[in-house]
Amino acid sequence: MEQTNYSERGVRRVLEQLGERRFDRIFFVACGGSSALMYPSAYLVDTRSRTLAAEYLNSNEFIYRAPARLDERAVVILCSQEGKTPETVEAARFARAKGAAVLTIAMREGTPLEAAGEGFVLYGHYETCPMKDTSYGVMYMLTAGLIDRQEGAGLLEGMVRALEALDPVVQRAKQDWQPRAMEFAQGCRDARVLYSLASGCDYSQAYVLCNCYMMEMQWINAIPIHAGEFFHGPFEIIEEDSPVILLLGRDETRFLEERALAFCKKFTQKLFVIDAAEIDFGAVEPAYEGFMAVLALNNICRLYSKAIAGVRGHSLDLRRYMHLMDY
């Protein structure tokens, strides 16, 4: 494998393999963090495509729900980091049996997931590869390419330019937010529960922060709350000492996050704000800032998880159940 542009080449190869097939919907199917990284691409379809509809489903539910419109007019994209998540592999086989185009992405080649699909794209480890070659980058390029092949929107080329311009942006953001990550870690080291709020593309990062970094990796009760749902019940739980991590992005739904921010400023003293508006996106074109902000927020959230793991002395790799038993 060459060390540069392998993901972009993989995306373009898969798009070519689809030939003249036309589609009317894309199913985004995965579990856990792999599912969350697909959420912004579903948003991309919803907001930028006139011919494709997006469906976003957990791998196991995808099989049991058995969508009636899963047929030869559908594309199913599935992701598993190691390429062997049983539910996701089975979902790929299920979709292929229904006649759908089945595309898979993973960080490993030669996996059961790759074998179950008909087109595969390799992505790299987030700590060692450019933003374009991360799982988020691959999903953005693949989704943009699927829209382009039917609509000629030029999204793929724009997405490639944005991803290539993002690396220095993310590096600066990580440096700028390191002190605030430590403030969060010190302020929440003994927290019994915490909340994270976001909307639009950014909700994926509230999910990852709570479900993956805090619950899975730190055993801290953590709840991701959609900013649009916050005022329909969950805001009643907020008290003066309630830890809240509020994410603000750059997409069309930012108002929802700002509204939640205004409330939280009044009612909790433990508010930690990660605002993409404070980030200089440099050469990233404005049309793509909302999508690139997700990757910046993702890297900052990783900083927060590493910081709290350090002050608590609880390794991010420690597990009680995952991969240690049958379940």
Model confidence at 140: pLDDT above 60: yes
Give the Cα separation of 75 and 53 in Å (integer). Answer: 10
Q: Give the per-residue pLDDT at 2.
A: 47
Express each pLDDT in 230-264 by its tens digit: 999 999 999 999 999 999 999 999 999 999 999 99
Local structure of 142: helix, strand or coil: helix
- pLDDT confidence tier of residue 5, bands split at 50, 70 and 90: confident
Nearest Cα neighbor of 48 from 252, 202, 248 is: 252
Model confidence at 293: pLDDT above 50: yes
Local structure of 271: helix, strand or coil: strand
Q: Give the per-residue pLDDT at 1.
A: 43
Q: Give the per-residue pLDDT at 4.
A: 60
Task: Report in angstroms the alpha-carbon separations of 19 from 6, 71, 97.
Answer: 21, 17, 19
Model confidence at 127: pLDDT above 50: yes
For the entire predicted model, the pTM comes to 0.96
Model confidence at 274: pLDDT above 60: yes
Token pair of 116 as six digits? 């179950």
Q: Give the per-residue pLDDT at 9.
A: 96
Model confidence at 60: pLDDT above 80: yes
Give the Cα separation of 179 and 293 in Å (integer). Answer: 20
Local structure of 210: helix, strand or coil: helix
Domains of the chain: 6-153 (3.40.50.10490), 180-312 (3.40.50.10490)
Nearest Cα neighbor of 142 from 85, 64, 75 is: 75
**What is the average pLDDT score of the chain?**
96
Mean local confidence (pLDDT), 33-49: 98
Express each pLDDT in 76-112 by its tens digit: 999 999 999 999 999 999 999 999 999 999 999 999 9
Q: Give the per-residue pLDDT at 136.
A: 98
Q: Looking at the chain, list the stretches that DSSP marks H as alpha helix, in order from N- to C-terminal side.
A: 6-17, 32-36, 39-48, 59-65, 86-97, 112-116, 135-151, 155-188, 203-207, 217-218, 254-267, 289-312
Express each pLDDT in 224-238 by its tens digit: 999 999 999 999 999
Torsion, CA 23, CA 92, CA 121, CA 288, rounded to 10: 50
